[in-house]
Amino acid sequence: MTRVCRTALIALTTAAIISPLKSANAEELTVMATGGAWQAALRQAWFEPFAKKANVKLNEQEYTGELGKIKAMVETGNVPIDLVTVETSTVLQGCDAGVLIRLDYSKIAERSKFLPGTALDCGVGIDVYGDVLAYDTTVLKDAPTSVLDIFDTKTFPGKRAMRKAPAQNLEWALMADGVPVTEVYKVLATPEGVDRAFKKLDSIKKDIVWWEAGAQPPQLLASKEVVMTTAWNGRIQNAIDQDKRPFALVWNNQIVEYDMIAIPKGAKNLDVAYKYLAYAAEPEVSAQLGRFIPYGPVRADATPFVPKEVLAKLPTAPDHMKTYLVSDVEFWGDQGEDLVKRFNAWLAQ
């Protein structure tokens, strides 16, 4: 996940103190994450247990995942947070911009213990999630079989929702236009490939409802504003398990991503921030998130600690990995800024 888990109207400055009252000299830690069911899962799996174990007053804030908010804090010298959850592409961009500090892994865990691509210089992975397609089974009687069916307005007429960002949408657009999974980033790295992706998005642009926060896709389905939506798998599974919504997930052609956590430059409680990162990286602790939202751990040695009933819901379950694409974080780190500008200009047309 950063993926960067995001409510419909996120209160960017809302802070919730989740630890019990501590002594006056208790250490403090402020974490900014992206809200909704995902942040609630972080709270249950890690925030509250850490606060209790470390005798720390842990505060929460929410934001929509944009680098600009973190950058504004750093540039003004007013950094009220110690840790921030981010997407992998944001980690690379924030690292290059000097907005995020380079992590000292000797204070966290051995880098080789993490899955490839989840222990970056300025951010450490916290979970594995899937960008999938979701729909309401009471609305669509004929089930979609691939995420790419979002481009099929003939078979599945009606409004559909996609995240208001170029990442994932451009990859799916190329796949829907016939580009093999293994060639997606090679094609997208060319001007012709970018044009091709946007041309494919043009074909459904008038039917798209754009979402920005992770909690919006299940809300859009529940209100029947859309017949299908792209989403982070955990947000839909949470609506199925906890809210008893008649939703279903389509895994074929999912895009696999990692949520990361980072320390912004100028954070005031570095020692406590590192203590938290070390705590969350412990294999048994790392596996706990899946109990509250079905995202997988970023350490292979954490898998034995994942409850068996949870394993089948993870994006990395064998049945869910028949046709998939792993998001290329280096590509988005290098090309992300330009493609965001192109995407925003396309939206305004």
Asked if the structure places residue 119 within a domain, the reply is yes
Does residue 68 sit in the same domain as residue 161? no
Does residue 173 sit in the same domain as residue 275? no
Does residue 99 sit in the same domain as residue 140? no
Q: Which pLDDT value is given to residue 195?
A: 98
Q: Whole-number mean pLDDT of the chain?
A: 91
Residue 323: pLDDT over 90: yes
Kindly report the CATH number assigned to the domain that includes residue 301.
3.40.190.10
Which single residue is written with the structure tokens 């294999």?
283
Asked if the structure places residue 97 within a domain, the reply is yes
Q: Is 177 exposed, middle or buried (0-12, 13-18, 19+ CB in 10 A)?
A: middle
Asked if the structure places residue 10 within a domain, the reply is no
Q: Which domain holds residue 163?
A: 130-256+322-348
Asked if the structure places residue 3 within a domain, the reply is no
Q: Which residues contact 142 (CB under 8 A, 6 or more apart)?
A: 155, 156
DSSP classification of residue 153: T
Q: Which pLDDT value is given to residue 7?
A: 38
Does residue 35 sit in the same domain as residue 119? yes
Q: Which of 88, 132, 117 is nearest to 317 (CA)?
A: 132
Does residue 188 sit in the same domain as residue 153? yes
Does residue 288 sit in the same domain as residue 187? no
Does residue 249 sit in the same domain as residue 181? yes
Does residue 229 sit in the same domain as residue 295? no
Residue 21: pLDDT over 60: no
Residues 118-149 have pLDDT tens digits of 999 999 999 999 999 999 999 998 999 999 99
Residue 19: pLDDT over 70: no
Asked if the structure places residue 269 within a domain, the reply is yes
| SS3 label, residue 55 | coil
Asked if the structure places residue 6 within a domain, the reply is no
Residue 311: pLDDT over 90: no
Residue 45: pLDDT over 90: yes
Does residue 119 sit in the same domain as residue 268? yes
CA distance 301 to 315: 17
Residues 160-206 have pLDDT tens digits of 999 999 999 999 999 999 999 999 999 999 999 999 999 999 999 99
**What is the pLDDT averaged over residues 336-341?**
92
Does residue 74 sit in the same domain as residue 157? no
Q: Which pLDDT value is given to residue 1?
A: 47
Asked if the structure places residue 69 within a domain, the reply is yes
CA distance 231 to 3: 10
Asked if the structure places residue 225 within a domain, the reply is yes
pLDDT-derived band at 286 (thresholds 50, 70, 90) equals: very high
- Please count the structural domains in the chain: 2
Does residue 206 sit in the same domain as residue 331? yes
Does residue 247 sit in the same domain as residue 151? yes
Residues 224-272 have pLDDT tens digits of 999 999 999 989 998 999 899 999 999 999 999 999 999 999 999 999 9
